[in-house]
Structure 1
Amino acid sequence: MYEEETIIYKGKPFHYYCKLVFTKYLITGRRISIDTGIFNVNTEEIRLHRVNDISVSASMIQRMFGRGSVTIYSNDITCPTVTIRDIPNYKEVARVLSDWVEYAKATYRSNEIITSVNQSQHEYVPGY
């Protein structure tokens, strides 16, 4: 039923001072997932059709290491803003993510329209 998800980005933030990182990022063609923690792992997930805006930023230190951050603004109730920090190729990740967000929104809207059309075709007939 479900086809395999296309992975856009998978990795961890780069910490200049420490090799131990307890955050994992996964961006696919359907969702953004962020796992944090070592003993108690928390997962935040945002469906791509809920994303409203994407911005990129890079501090001077990040630019020196060829890294940057991608901030995602969504209408998700539990996690409206997510920042994916210190990742390589951050501009390319944001560009590809933006394309997938548009695709997800178009697909989600077409599914909503088909569902509402199918539901309106079922008429209530009294007596049955």
Structure 2
Amino acid sequence: MTLPDHHLTQGERRIRSFHPHWKQLIIPFVALILIVIASGVGMFFVPGEWQYAAYARIAIGVIAVLLLTIWSFIPYLQWKNTGYVLTSHRFTISSGVLNKSTDEIPLTKVNSVSSDQSFAERMLGCGTLTVESASEQGQLALRDIPKIQDVRADLFRAVEDVSDGEVDGK
């Protein structure tokens, strides 16, 4: 996912790979259900004896497909094509469906790692991970990170290993 193994440098190992938290898919899923129900009801109530009934049903279907594409399919593709990879040398953030954007933060440049969770995020096990690096980006806030405390601990451990010169536990 997002960083193929053949792109890893010699001695670099993958620690964790993940997508944003599934809560980003709640609204697209609700939109999917509502659009399907509304289009089904709309098609049901088009009078069968009406001379333009076929055209009305086709129009309802086309509008439903367009709305499903915009409000459900595209957000799903965005979620699916956003990925985070933590390796023993870097933290990579990739996003984009047609165009791809990749940010990499070398662990040697990371100054601090912190997390923030609202009450609802604590219940869902996700949160915002803030990585401060000595780069031109400065502070990077990553929202909806699943298993935030585990990711934070892994990232902090990897940063400590790199700063101590103990990459890969050696």
**TM-score between both structures, scaled by the size of structure 1:** 0.72
In the alignment, the residues of structure 2 paired with residue 9 and residue 83 of structure 1 have an alpha-carbon distance, to the nearest angstrom, of 18
1:32·1:45 contact (CA, 8 Å) conserved in 2? yes
The two structures, once aligned, show a CA RMSD in angstroms of: 2.0
Question: Which residue does 1:2 correspond to in 2?
Answer: 10
What amino acid sits opposite 1:12 in the alignment?
H
**1:38 deviation in Å?**
1.1
1:8·1:93 contact (CA, 8 Å) conserved in 2? no
**Deviation by residue 1:42-88 (Cα, 9 ceiling, x = unmatched):** 101010010000001112222221212211000012x2222232222
In the alignment, the residues of structure 1 paired with residue 10 and residue 156 of structure 2 have an alpha-carbon distance, to the nearest angstrom, of 22
> In the comparison of the two structures, how many residue pairs are matched?
106
More helix by share: 2
Identity %: 30
Question: Which residue does 2:48 correspond to in 1?
Answer: none
Of 113, 118, 122, the residue aligned with 1:54 is: 113
Of 112, 126, 135, the residue aligned with 1:67 is: 126
Q: Tell which has more relative contact order, 1 or 2 (C-alpha 8 A, sep 6+).
A: 2
Structure 1: runs of 5+ lacking an equivalent: 109-128
More strand by share: 1
Structure 2: runs of 5+ lacking an equivalent: 1-8, 29-74
Runs of 4+ with deviation above 4 angstroms: none
What amino acid sits opposite 1:43 in the alignment?
T
Q: Between Structure 1 and Structure 2, whose CA radius of gyration is higher?
A: 2
Of 94, 97, 102, the residue aligned with 1:38 is: 97
Question: Which residue does 1:84 correspond to in 2?
Answer: 142
Question: Which residue does 2:151 correspond to in 1?
Answer: 93
**1:89 deviation in Å?**
2.0
**TM-score between both structures, scaled by the size of structure 2:** 0.56
